[in-house]
């Protein structure tokens, strides 16, 4: 796996908020770099705890 240290955050292109099974809100953000290429999917709980379960769709 290559690691690219020269990637620069461009913008957030999508986000989604849901509630984990313990009742804590979770925010998922899809971000692209400055060239518009996918950079990361950032998922974090608003209490900074560990995610228990992704929602079923």
**With left for phi above 0 and alpha for psi between -120 and 50, is residue 23 left, alpha or beta?**
left
pLDDT digits (tens, 9 = 90+) for 1-56: 677 778 899 999 999 999 999 999 999 999 999 999 999 999 999 999 999 999 98
Strand 38-45 relative to strand 25-33, pairing: antiparallel
Whole-number pLDDT of residue 54: 92
Q: What is the DSSP string of 9-52?
A: EEEEEEEEEEE-TTS-EEEEEEEEETTS-EEEEEEEETT-----
Read off the pTM.
0.80
């Amino acid at each position: 796996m290559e690691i690219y240290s020269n990637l620069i955050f461009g913008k957030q292109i999508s986000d989604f908020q849901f509630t984990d099974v313990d009742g804590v809100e979770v925010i998922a953000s899809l971000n692209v770099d400055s060239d518009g290429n996918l950079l990361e999917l950032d998922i974090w709980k608003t209490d900074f705890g560990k995610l228990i379960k992704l929602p079923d769709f």
